[in-house]
A and B are shown apart, each in its own frame.
Chain A
Amino acid sequence: MTDKPLTQNIIGFEGPTDLSRYQGNGGYSALRSTIGKTDPDAVLELIKDSNLKGRGGAGFPTGMKWSFVPKPDGKGHRYLIANADEMEPGTFKDRILMEKDPHQLIEGMILSAYTISADIGYIFIRAEYHAAIARLNEAIADAQAANLLGNNILDSDYSFRLHVHVSAGRYICGEETALLNSLEGKRAIPRAKPPFPQVSGLWGRPTIVNNVETLCNITHIVKHGPDWFKALGKGVDGGTKLFGASGRVKHPGCWELPMGTSIREILEDHAGGMADGYQLKGFLPGGASTDFLTPDHLDIPMEYDTVMKAGSRMGTGTMIILDDRSCPVGMIANLEKFFARESCGFCTPCREGLPWVQQILDKIEAGDGEMSDLDILERQSQFIGAIGNTHCAHAPGAIEPLASGMKYFRDDFIAHIEGKACPYTTGPD
């Protein structure tokens, strides 16, 4: 039993994993021993016991999420959806999983669908992931031909058909209810919750949306059990996680490591530390919509609660590293430009508030800022930055790097304002 279940078919292999290599390495054995043999409720218990938490950024316990799906009413379809709309800046883990080992996702989806009695599945994948789309389509065709997918899987009573739906762009499609609206062929505006997708999801039917990495874990938990899974983690959370680092580090990349690995270990041992000539100034631990942390936080274990206690979020687990030669104001301006651009336009704080924040940051970066601009940024942060103030989590996520950036890098902001110029060289070089 490997301690790197998610990448066991990826690391050390050339090319993507096809059906024969996947099965040769033990793939689809969990499926064979479960479909029609194990009761779906028993599988649900395994997932609940494992305490697997969502790997898309929110960290909600997967078993609990599934348990809210009502019992089948026989009145229509039930859906399982893989959120493969990976567009969170700094995040590049799901791409690798789908390009290099598509069957892992597929087997995980079939098992998950079986557990919640879903009969139709979608992989909602961003349009730019051409290679992954091709691999997934091939894999689905192969699985179907081998009676692992489609009608009467493995000659059981259970049928599940799986489609790849390619998006037409827009980051907000990664928000699960906006994703549902997009799948329905509409503008991708998020929905108010409650009601939750488990009760009224795709076309009003019971639906579960899970992140790709989450679903990739399912097969392994079913195969090896919750205790094995829990033991993989170093701290409170079980399992492994694809952690990553990008920015001015020696070896930017993505590595499967135990949950609870310290930030220092990821940064120094795997990413090789900062590139020559650069010092660590700060980092976003889990993608663009997480709060900054500083070198003081390097020994924090990467798991959900510990990072939250430090004032940030583990998010997607792929870190964005801010070096000492890149301007924090410029970085935050880049982030807010992205968040403002990707607003769906539904609610006031996001739609109107984020462009104002962007305008002020651009002004400060250009050397035209005033101290009163900092007051506006603070007031806007309070206005926009709490869940409940806005229609969805997009804008509060946008405020996380801003509010934390103003806290930790306030001196830089003031230097721009007082010096009437950006004190960093024109961009990093």
Chain B
Amino acid sequence: MSTIATDSPMNILTEMEIGEIESEIRHLPDRRSAAIDGLKIVQAHRGWVSDESLGAIAELLGMSIDELDGIATFYNLIYRQPVGDKVILFCDSVSCWLMDGDAVCQKIKQILDIDYGETTSDNQFTLLPVTCLGDCDHAPAMMVGDELHHDLTPDNIDEHLK
């Protein structure tokens, strides 16, 4: 509302982040259509989206923080809290459940000593549930960061957590 000078997004986002976001905006009809792209880009660089980053993205796109946070909090893959170096997305859908996924998940929680939504004390892993990863013929499956891991058992799971 006020047009009086405030802290510019240039002071918070990097040139690269801004460049990537502007490049998305170029093929969109308006700036705010890049809301989700902007959140993902900044998250790709920083691992998560802090309040400060969110404010800068909102400013860059010409939106209020309330509008942008309303979008961010809808999507489960936008992290509004810090996460570990790698996020484990463990599939808890029906095909993995039928193949004893619960036992594998229990083992993970035991090995890493965390529950869903928590991060290991060495900041290596955050554990989150995820909907069917589309790898049902190799259930149980999970993502560790960008990598897909499958055919998991309680016995082989620690190999996949290295």
Contacts and interface: CB of A to CB of B under 8 A. Distances in A.
Indicate whether A and B are direct neighbours in the complex (CB within 8 Å). yes
B74 A188 contact: yes
B137 to A, nearest CB: 4
A127 B37 CA distance: 12
B131 A171 contact: yes
Interface residues of A, number: 59
Contacts of A320: 94-95, 98, 136
A230 interface: no
Nearest to A161: B27
B78 interface: yes
B102 A92 contact: no
B98 A326 contact: yes
Contacts, number: 138
Contacts of A331: 94, 97-98
A334 B34 contact: no
Chain B binding surface SS class: mixed
B78 A338 contact: no
A90 B137 contact: no
Contacts of B135: 92, 95
B32 interface: yes
Number of chain B interface residues as a range: 35 or more
B95 A247 contact: yes
B130 interface: yes
Contact of B134 (A91, A169, A322, A341): A91
Nearest to B93: A89
B161 interface: no
Contacts of A337: 92
A76 B75 CA distance: 30
Interface in A131-171: 131, 161, 163, 165-171
Contact of A92 (B74, B131, B134): B134
A86 B37 CA distance: 19
Given A288-B93, A331-B98, A246 B36 contact: no
Interface of B: 27-29, 32-37, 39-40, 70-71, 74-78, 89, 92-95, 97-100, 102-103, 130-139, 143, 146, 148
Given A90-B136, A321-B98, 9 more contacts: A89-B94, A128-B133, A168-B39, A169-B75, A185-B36, A188-B74, A331-B94, A344-B74, A428-B100
